[in-house]
Chain A
Amino acid sequence: MNVHVAPLFPASSESGPAVVVSNLVRSYGRRVVIERLNLRIERGEFVALLGESGCGKTTLLRALAGLDTIQGGRIVAPRRPAVVFQEHRLLPWDNLWRNVSLGLQASNARERAAEALTEVGLGDRLDDWPRNLSGGQAQRVALARALVQQPELLLLDEPFAALDALTRIRMHELVRELVANHQPGVLLVTHDVDEAIALADRILVIRNGAIAFEHRAARDGSTSISRAELLGELGVTSHSPN
């Protein structure tokens, strides 16, 4: 709907939601996974979606990405969202800039890919191959590939789950920076409570296919909710003194 012409990743001047989901129903056969779910994500808003395995959070993300058919309800998004998966999913037969520009309809694809790679700190590796990258670097390329499409909605499906703790923290900083610069709406699916607290403006807990808990961070970005509280919402009772 909205037509953006260069510059790369323009900070969105218009307001309006990145996605609106209403009464979404998704079922596999007779088993209903998502039951009349409503969700609205603004541009520039960072939403984390928590939930135990099998609660339907990845199902929701896949529905938003257009990867699954839905059985009811509506998803309204201004344009195709970008997705970063848990695995980097780089094409091993293409070098980095070709990977980043995959699906990009532009005559200056290499240039745009170069800018995106520079943004994630890999601007000097344009012609390198995916197999020469570490796990964290590969995931940064995947981020560049998502952002080069100038998405208004960015879907992150546990993108840091396979990384080591230190790399994960660096990736958190990078993602926060990128999202601040480009202002897409973000839906982060994770089961890492600390990650949700560290990154999100709004934390949702999904249970039995519906949103069971919602917490909004304060304006200054500080999150008042405690780890234990969130874990409690996830059905984990913590016995530690802290």
Chain B
Amino acid sequence: MSNIELSQINRTVIATDSGLPSQSSDRSLASTSRLGARGLQLLSWLAPVLLVIIWESLAQVGWVSPQVLPAPSKVIRTAFKLATTGTLLNDLGVSLLRAAAGFAIGTAVGAGLGILVGFSRIAEAAIDRSVQMIRAIPFLAALPLVIVWLGVGEAEKIFLVALGVTFPIYINTVLGIRQVDPKLLELGRVQGLGSLQLIRRIILPGALPSILTGVRYALATAWLALVVAETIGAQSGIGFLAMDAREFLRTDVIILTIVIYALIGIAADGIARLLERRLLAWHPNYGAAR
């Protein structure tokens, strides 16, 4: 009896839901369209710009000591000075080179293992468990061991970056290959594709969205690994610049290095997005509208 009543109540609720379009959602839609996409874009920039202005004026008035937080204008001046007379560009180059080398090695190892495991159940049985176990270690925890093995030179830094990159690439490569639609593989066989053609025409393109997701993750971890590696015993690089500045309480340089790390992170992500848009133009979730 109560069940019947309940189900009737449910039905009436559903009926009103579908009968009357919910008015509140209509209203909120109207308010967003009044501002327009450009208005919203402007609004989203308003808060950060205000923040910088407030920061600058507080520093100019002298309410905040430049030892604690130098004015943005001071940071920019420092950037120019270091770029023209100092070693900023050299340090930047050294850091980028480390990141690139570690990223290349990590990608090669991760993708290589991933392809092997993705295609072969035997390789999976042999390799996957070990990789998953190593992956469970936060790779930064391995830092002391890496320093004991390789010292605090270039090898240690590149190794740490490669370590951080390998796992996201590996996991997403395996996942991508395994997720390829078996119906398309069957089609490939029906159309008479050989193994190599099957890989080139169906498996790799099918796995690519997942692999590129791995690349984006890997870029983030590569950067994180580099920051940590350069903070410990570096003789050059952006991290060295920051640690050196700490010795002399040059807060402006420290902030400059933080901003540079952020900008390069954004640039790396932008490159990854560009790759996705280019390579996945066919994909409804990535490609530019055609």
Contact = CB atoms under 8 A, between A and B. Distances in A.
A103 B188 contact: yes
A92 B190 contact: no
For A82, A94, A102, A149, which residue has the most chain B Cβ atoms within 10 angstroms?
Answer: A102
B6 to A, nearest CB: 37
B272 interface: no
A129 B290 contact: yes
Interface in A84-104: 85, 87, 89, 91-94, 102-103
B184 to A, nearest CB: 6
Contacts of A1: none
Interface stretch (B49-57, B133-141, B197-205, B240-248): B197-205
B283 A149 contact: no
B284 interface: yes
B205 A89 contact: no
Interface residues of B, number: 21
Given A87-B183, A93-B282, A65 B190 contact: yes
A82 B192 CA distance: 10
A28 B202 CA distance: 28
A125 interface: no
A67 to B, nearest CB: 6
Q: 3 smallest A-B Cβ distances: which pairs?
A: A103-B191, A93-B205, A93-B282
Given A91-B184, A94-B282, 6 more contacts: A67-B190, A92-B283, A93-B206, A94-B201, A102-B187, A131-B284
Interface of A: 65-67, 80, 82-83, 85, 87, 89, 91-94, 102-103, 129, 131-132, 145, 149
A89 B184 contact: yes
A93 B202 CA distance: 9
B193 interface: yes
Contact of B202 (A66, A82, A87, A91): A91
Given A129-B282, A129-B290, A131-B284, A91 B205 contact: yes
Contact of A89 (B187, B197, B206, B282): B187
B186 interface: yes
B282 A67 contact: no
For B188, B190, B192, B283, which residue has the most chain A Cβ atoms within 10 angstroms?
Answer: B190
Interface of B: 183-184, 186-193, 197, 201-202, 205-206, 208, 280, 282-284, 290
Contacts of A66: 189-190
Contacts of A82: 190
A89 B193 CA distance: 15
B193 A103 contact: yes
Contacts of B183: 85, 87, 89
Nearest to B290: A129
B258 to A, nearest CB: 40
A120 B71 CA distance: 69
Contacts of B184: 89, 91
B282 A80 contact: no
B282 A85 contact: no
Contacts of A65: 190
A192 to B, nearest CB: 22
Nearest to B208: A93
Given A89-B187, A91-B184, A129-B290, A103 B197 contact: yes
A132 B284 CA distance: 10
Contacts of A92: 282-283
Nearest to B192: A103
A68 to B, nearest CB: 10
A103 B280 CA distance: 22
Contacts of A80: 190, 192
B281 to A, nearest CB: 9
A77 to B, nearest CB: 13
A203 B152 CA distance: 79
A145 B191 CA distance: 9
Contact of B201 (A67, A89, A91, A145): A91
Contacts of A85: 183, 187
A91 B180 CA distance: 11
Nearest to B189: A67
